[in-house]
Structure 1
């Protein structure tokens, strides 16, 4: 994962495997290529209350969610490698348990991201900014792009 202040800038993008997030990932990779930046793809999943938990260095992670997060990470890694090959940009993956908007904002701040990119939600057949995108637009400390 790129360290803050090292080399090229970073474009952070939220990914959950949905078509909207894959559109956002493609857009972020194109932007990173133009800016000679790297892409940091972030997948976050809220930990459901009541599950057994264990504390590790990254915080409290649900045991049941951990295996699920590892499976998602493996699936997304394959997609990210294809994008790296097609567009010639470095793509890193971060998978964390927690509120998606909070995790995305925190990661973007940690790496001092140049931009934060998320996909639009689909509501009644129309693409709109969902709750994660809306919260990021209000609270992120870097520019936010919502990709249809």
Structure 2
């Protein structure tokens, strides 16, 4: 069995059981999280919110500590998610969700997360960086991987 066959999407089920959404604090990722929460509510699926902590940044290359910084971003994101969930509790009361952090570049981190969490679907925000038109965004790379249904939220 090839790797592609091992990760084939199962047809004929009642819908996704685990939906992974990538969150990095950008506006498009926040819209993706809201969309994924609605999808999880309608499908009665587990919403796995994933923040991928970058391993290497320009600051790290110059010797600046970044581990604490990315941990602070993760803490800030989960606080923001909890506050938002509380504000719309009456709408998303039945949504089961978890917050996960993975380390690495965003694409490989989301792939690792989706595999580890046995995701049935992945939701990401559209890239807001101009350079991704040339080298490809995380969303495009996830779609091309063809391992899960991927929804890209503008």
Q: Normalized against structure 1, the TM-score is what?
A: 0.72
Q: Is the 8 A contact 1:10 1:112 kept in 2?
A: yes
Which of structures 1 and 2 has the bigger CA Rg?
2
Q: Deviations over 1:14-53 (max 9, x none)?
A: 0112221111111111111221101000011312244578
Of Structure 1 and Structure 2, which has the larger fraction of its residues in strand? 1
3-state DSSP of counterpart to 2:95: coil
Point out the structure with the larger helix share.
2
Counterparts of 1:103-142 in structure 2, within 5 Å, are: 103-122=109-128, 131-139=137-145, 141-142=147-148
Matched residue count: 129
Instruction: Sort the Cα spacing of 1:47 and 1:123 in 2 relative to 1 into closer, same or farther, 3 A.
Output: closer
Alpha carbons of 1:29 and 1:36: their partners in 2 closer, same or farther (altered >3 Å)?
Answer: same
**Structure-2 separation of matches of 1:139 and 1:83:** 34
Partner of 1:79: 84
Match of 2:10 in 1: none
Tell me, which stretches of 5 or more residues in structure 1 are unaligned? 1-7, 54-60, 125-129
The TM-score normalised by the length of structure 2 is 0.69
| 5+ long unaligned stretches in structure 2 | 1-15, 131-135
Shift of 1:113: 0.9
